[in-house]
Amino acid sequence: MLLVKKFGGTSVADKERIFNVARRCMKDYQAGHKVVMVLSAMGKQTDVLLDMAKDINDSPPKRELDMLLSTGEQVSVALMSMAFASLGIPSVSLNAFQVAMHTTRVYGSARLKRIDTERIHHELDNHKIVIVTGFQGINKYDDVTTLGRGGSDTTAVALAAALHADQCEIFTDVEGVYTADPRIVPKARKLKEITYGEMLDLATLGAGVLHNRSVELAKKYNIPLIVRSSLNESEGTIIKEVTKVEGMLISGVAADRNTTRISVIGLEDRPGVAFKLFDMIAKANVNVDMILQSIGRDGTKDISFTIPEDDTKDCVELIEKKMENLRAHKIDVNEGVAKVSIVGAGMMSAPGVAAKMFECLYNADININMISTSEIRVTVLIREKDTERAVNAIHDAFGLED
């Protein structure tokens, strides 16, 4: 079998953990499997590099930031290969140039376009374990790009797809996908299986286990994904197209505190205003999530929407620059909000799921700010300080502890 195995920063944070990971992969190699590893930067190294950059320049050019950050994974893969050499196992480290990991142009949040597999196959044929830098790529100018936070997951899945791997394992510091974040909900239960769609909604909504683009890719190419702990041998959670019906209405509840609500007040109430606003934001590569438009009054209307907290500064500056052009009166920014979502393929065939969620929040005296829904998901925006109570109340109401 050809196995792709991705290890995050905490899994390679120090010498001991690097050797743990190496020994674990060595077993698969010695059992005759072909092993391709994808590594993140060690521990908090990406944050360390980011701090170095900010110390030099408050808003460093994104091209140069990617050039800087990409060194983190290169250090990890080189050290891992040295660990294999100590264990007498042949291996080779490869960076984005060496693999030829082609991405789109955008620095900081590039998307993988094409992966050349020639070099990797060549090294695998020479019986080497191949260790690839996650998170990074090169664009058509031969410049280094990064895929955004958590991008190493995407690298792993894309490699699995390009190499026609039999399986892609994502090793992390949790034991799998839970019905809720165990740090918030003590009764949270580990799921054995979950569909791509459910995982996608959980990932997008901040479950924090997997990068959402990696799940999209896995779904697109039908790559079985396994999320499991790098610290023990427990089974983890399998993400695949169809799962056994567990008779569950919903699979999990997720909270995302890293969100900001922006309201643009007093927009002229005429066609094309919303388009102008969101087109501008999209071109700046900011992902808008929930959108709420008020009913027009006095010839004006208000539009509220949520964006990732990290993009707040960029987005606000952008809108402020165009206030006149948008004919807006003022902009209101609220960082003290959180998104709480329930996700489950089961809700497609069961009416009243959203109502049950709203009822349970009403009973807990938690005010709902905005609502958005999809076929398998209901999301509400609430005050950040209510997050923990909300998630526990929902977890209880839907009986997720089993």
What number of chain residues touch its own copies (CB under 8 A)? 37
Site for its own copies in 7-26 (CB under 8 A): 15, 18-19
Question: Applying CB under 8 A, which part among 69-77, 240-248, 288-296, 313-321 lies near its own copies?
Answer: 69-77
Query: Does residue 225 bind its own copies (CB under 8 A)?
Result: no
Among 2, 79, 331, 364, which residue sits at the site for its own copies (rule: CB under 8 A)? 79
Six-digit token pair at 177? 């996908």
Helices marked H in 235-379: 273-283, 312-321, 323-326, 353-363
382 contacts 366 by C-beta, under 8 angstroms: yes
Count CB neighbours of 169 within 10 A: 22
Query: Does residue 124 bind its own copies (CB under 8 A)?
Result: no
Q: How far is the CB of 168 from its own copies (least distance, A)?
A: 24
Query: Does residue 397 bind its own copies (CB under 8 A)?
Result: no
What lies within 8 Å, CB to CB, of 240 at 6+ separation is 193, 195, 196, 224, 225
The smaller minimum CB distance to its own copies, of residues 14 and 310, is found at 14
The smaller minimum CB distance to its own copies, of residues 15 and 385, is found at 15
Question: Applying CB under 8 A, which part among 48-56, 294-302, 330-338, 344-352 lies near its own copies?
Answer: 48-56
Please report, in angstroms and rounded to a whole number, the separation of the first and last CA atoms in the chain.
35
Among 38, 83, 250, 264, which residue sits at the site for its own copies (rule: CB under 8 A)? 83
Class of residue 14 by CB neighbours under 10 A (exposed 0-12, middle 13-18, buried 19+): exposed
Stretch 239-278: interaction string toward its own copies, x if CB under 8 A: ----------------------------------------
Among 11, 40, 46, 70, which residue sits at the site for its own copies (rule: CB under 8 A)? 70
132 contacts 37 by C-beta, under 8 angstroms: yes
Residue with tokens 């699979």: 251
174 contacts 191 by C-beta, under 8 angstroms: no
Q: Which helix (H) or strand (E) holds 5?
A: strand 2-7
Among 31, 82, 284, 355, which residue sits at the site for its own copies (rule: CB under 8 A)? 82
Please give the full DSSP string across 68-79, using - where no structure is assigned: HHTHHHHHHHHH
Q: Which helix (H) or strand (E) holds 90?
A: none
The smaller minimum CB distance to its own copies, of residues 147 and 267, is found at 147
The smaller minimum CB distance to its own copies, of residues 130 and 337, is found at 130
What single letter denotes the amino acid at residue 323? M
Residues that bind its own copies (CB under 8 A): 15, 18-19, 49, 52-53, 55-57, 60-61, 63-65, 67-68, 70-71, 74-75, 77-79, 81-83, 85-86, 92-93, 95, 97-98, 119, 142-144
